[in-house]
Copies of this chain bind each other. A is one copy, B any other.
């Protein structure tokens, strides 16, 4: 009798959640925030995270993002490891850069999509925003391996670029600086946001998710995933200890142990279906295994296969529409352009 009553109450409660509005409230209460579809509202939000984005900077940044001459070798661009056609990542375990060198800590390239919403950049969270972040990989030896001076010399030697920097940074006397190169790239990256049907749901359309997706979201909240994977980017807003309990099965791959306090950036889960392999060291190829692992190590929860499947069904709703990007035609080098150097 008692058992039946409890069951009935649970079903009613679940029913009201799946009806929609209560689940929207629960998601909001868990800190999840919608990316607006409306362009104007979207740009307003983007500018809260990346100051000073302008169309001129973003347009220049589109070229620089695909610009291999910003690498020492002339062969690697931002898009090499953060491929806009591959969910904004590279699909390999550890990034490979200059001279085919793998990331020395065996770190996996995170997606560039929606990265503007991250208040922690890099796996150890050492950078607070994109404008700062972009300077890292350009200089890193196993990535693009260029010096700020060489980057400035390459770009300065190309008149079309100089003219475009003047337009994008009208207040600067000598606008072609490494700082502005990074700022333009960050401005382009900032507009790479991908609202999905989850955002329609969160913004109030209770029918935007189907029953299975709602069940997945409910589990995602109830199990505690939203403790860390929350905010606009369903992650990206904090660092956490990893693993919090137990032992990470692939801890032997690479030597990354987090920041000085052992804290690791919480990555976004947007477009997660498109950015395998997973974890900081790209050791897990299946999203199901990644969910299972995170449940065990961070929540102390032994998720059943059915629960994992439901959560993955929800995660699929975070696959957003990518902005249409015209592949940029880059201005030609001149006699003054420092030569590429693959060594």
Query: Which A residues contact B (CB, under 8 angstroms)?
Result: 63, 66, 68-69, 73-75, 80, 83-87, 90-92, 96, 99-100, 102, 273-274, 276, 285-286, 322, 324-330, 332-333, 335, 339-340, 342
B332 close to A274 (CB less than 8 A): yes
Question: Given the complex of chains A and B, what is the CA–CA distance between A133 and B164 in angstroms?
Answer: 37
A74 close to B90 (CB less than 8 A): yes
Residues of chain B contacted by A102 (CB below 8 angstroms): 342
Copies in the complex: 2
B75 close to A330 (CB less than 8 A): no
A91 close to B69 (CB less than 8 A): yes
Question: Given the complex of chains A and B, what is the CA–CA distance between A322 and B330 in angstroms?
Answer: 11
Of the residues B274, B276, B342, contact of A100 by C-beta under 8 Å: B342
What 7 A-B pairs are tightest by C-beta distance, nearest first? A100-B100, A85-B330, A325-B327, A327-B327, A274-B332, A92-B340, A99-B100
Residues of chain B contacted by A80 (CB below 8 angstroms): 75
A273 close to B91 (CB less than 8 A): no
A335 close to B92 (CB less than 8 A): no
Question: Given the complex of chains A and B, what is the CA–CA distance between A327 and B66 in angstroms?
Answer: 11
A85 close to B327 (CB less than 8 A): yes
- Separation in Å of the A114 CB from the closest CB of chain B? 15
- Separation in Å of the A12 CB from the closest CB of chain B? 38
Residues of chain B contacted by A90 (CB below 8 angstroms): 68, 74-75
A333 close to B91 (CB less than 8 A): yes
